């Protein structure tokens, strides 16, 4: 049978575009459809604009710290609208780059919603296209919990980048990495921030020492964290949003805020209106089920990224997509490895991690693990007169001497852990770390001097 395309991609986020371009480089005829802006969540409503806002939030601390080094900084002020406009202009610029990349790769872009009519046919508005292979890369979307009365008045991480006026007070519900990051951003920019979490600590699933260190750092910087608060309600009032939080003995605390961010209450695969019922693709627990090669229950339909709800990170989606393209169009059969994937939380203080947490290592290796910790004040803060701390942690399997986990909280944690991740990926031992000469003076040298 003759098809319009060798490969058709549904979703032009980071994973979809990476796959389409790689397949086209191998000579495949490729089409892609997108109903929203190119680049997906990461470029438009996630990693990129968020990181720019992180940079903006650090300047007040740096102005203050510079005094210890002899600088006198005059009166400062912050213009939220100028910042948010600059951030969105950069997103616009990146969208143009993605368009040019698709054009240069000769990938045909369709604008609209792609929906399966049958397992080889996609409908886009009035048009229909067919493809020998189809890749689903539609990503995920933020969800609001339906057990919170008044939740319709809340915003999510999608809307925060379009807020024209800085919130004076904000309540962030949930302690996942998105909520934690926005809490730190807004606090740094001068907003009064309260974080409400259902558990006793933020960042469930991360290493316990890392969770504790970040939470203490956030509170030290003035963020109020209310833990063990499983219930609350939201009501819209003339002065803003009124958040009622039960405390104990029938009593409640009422917080009035300008906005509520529910970004950290979760995300889910965005599978609406895909027409999956017209295919053999299976959906399990709200996500597209795939095998180790990202193949669905239909032999010619594949899926990558957040819509499979495995490890929801942009570089993972990109790597999955390129592995698919290499395998099917490049003659290089390979699959994505999910071991030792580094990740970061761009909080203040920043955190990054790769490999197993201490709890995971104990479960896997039992008493054979040995944990190395170091906590210190970096040199930068001595003259600044601040008691900011850096935490570094290595987890070692003493049976093999391999380092199976590395965690850090402190300045430039993501930049440092990226290099450490290479060592873990290569199977480095603690002896390898010990034999490496440190760069002095630096915080990073602590990873090779811990005893």
Round the CA-based radius of gyration of the chain to a whole number and report it.
Answer: 24
Of 153, 300, 328, 440, which is the active-site residue?
440
By the 10 Å C-beta count (0-12 exposed, 13-18 middle, 19+ buried), 98 is classed as: buried
Per-position DSSP letters for 319-386, written without gaps between them: HHHHHHHHHHHSS-------TT--EEE--SS-EEEEE--HHHHHHHHGGGEEEEEEEE--THHHHHT-
Gap between the Cα atoms of 110 and 127, Å rounded: 10
Query: Residues near 413 by Cβ (< 8 Å), separated by ≥ 6?
Result: 344, 349, 350, 351, 352
Gap between the Cα atoms of 140 and 306, Å rounded: 5
Q: Could you tell me the CA-to-CA distances from 108 to 7, 31, 226 in Å, in that order?
A: 11, 5, 50
Per-position DSSP letters for 185-200, written without gaps between them: HHHHTT-EEEEE-SSS
Query: Residues near 209 by Cβ (< 8 Å), separated by ≥ 6?
Result: 358, 373, 391, 393, 407
By the 10 Å C-beta count (0-12 exposed, 13-18 middle, 19+ buried), 76 is classed as: exposed
Gap between the Cα atoms of 61 and 348, Å rounded: 10
Total Cβ atoms within 10 A of residue 193: 26
Is position 440 annotated as part of the catalytic site?
yes
Gap between the Cα atoms of 241 and 47, Å rounded: 28
**Residues 57 and 190: beta-carbon distance below 8 Å:** no
Nearest to 197 by CA among 221, 218, 219, 171: 171
By the 10 Å C-beta count (0-12 exposed, 13-18 middle, 19+ buried), 161 is classed as: middle
Residues tagged active-site: 440
């Amino acid at each position: 049978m003759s098809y319009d395309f060798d490969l058709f991609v549904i979703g032009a986020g980071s994973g979809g575009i990476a796959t389409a371009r790689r397949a086209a480089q191998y000579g495949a005829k490729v089409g892609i459809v997108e109903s929203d802006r190119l680049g997906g969540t990461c470029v438009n409503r996630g990693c990129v604009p968020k990181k720019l806002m992180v940079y903006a939030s650090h300047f007040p601390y740096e102005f203050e710290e510079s005094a210890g080094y002899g600088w006198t900084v005059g009166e400062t002020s912050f213009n939220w609208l100028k910042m948010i406009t600059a951030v969105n202009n950069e997103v616009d610029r990146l969208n143009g780059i993605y368009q040019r990349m698709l054009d240069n790769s000769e990938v045909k872009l369709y604008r609209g919603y792609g929906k399966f009519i049958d397992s080889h046919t996609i409908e886009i508005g009035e048009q229909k296209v067919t493809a020998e292979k189809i890749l689903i890369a539609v990503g995920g979307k933020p969800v609001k919990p339906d057990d919170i009365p008044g939740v319709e008045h809340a915003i999510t991480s999608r809307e925060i980048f379009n807020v024209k006026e800085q919130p004076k007070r904000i309540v962030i519900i949930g302690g996942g990495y998105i909520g934690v990051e926005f809490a730190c951003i807004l606090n740094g920019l001068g907003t009064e921030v309260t974080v409400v979490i259902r558990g006793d600590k933020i960042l469930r699933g991360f290493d316990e020492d890392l969770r504790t260190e970040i939470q203490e750092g956030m509170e030290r910087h003035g963020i109020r964290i209310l833990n063990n608060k499983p219930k609350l309600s939201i009501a819209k009032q003339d002065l803003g949003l009124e958040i009622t939080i039960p405390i104990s003995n029938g009593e409640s605390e009422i917080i009035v805020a300008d906005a509520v961010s529910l970004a950290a209450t979760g995300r889910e695969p965005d599978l609406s209106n895909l027409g999956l019922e017209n295919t053999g693709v299976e959906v399990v627990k709200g996500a597209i089920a795939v095998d180790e090669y990202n193949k669905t229950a239909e032999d010619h339909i594949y899926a990558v990224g957040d819509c499979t709800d495995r490890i929801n990170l942009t570089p993972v989606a990109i790597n999955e997509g390129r592995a698919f393209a290499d395998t099917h169009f490049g003659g290089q059969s390979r699959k994505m490895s999910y071991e030792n994937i580094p990740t970061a939380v761009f909080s203040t203080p920043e955190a990054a991690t790769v490999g197993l947490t201490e709890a995971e290592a104990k479960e896997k290796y039992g008493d054979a693990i040995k944990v190395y910790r170091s906590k210190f004040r970096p040199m930068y803060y001595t003259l600044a007169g601040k008691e900011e701390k850096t935490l570094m942690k290595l987890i070692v399997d003493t049976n093999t001497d391999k380092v199976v986990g590395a965690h850090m909280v402190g300045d430039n944690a993501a930049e440092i852990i990226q290099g450490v991740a290479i060592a873990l990926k290569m199977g480095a031992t603690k002896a390898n770390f010990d034999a490496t000469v440190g760069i002095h003076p630096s915080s990073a040298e602590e990873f090779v001097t811990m005893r």
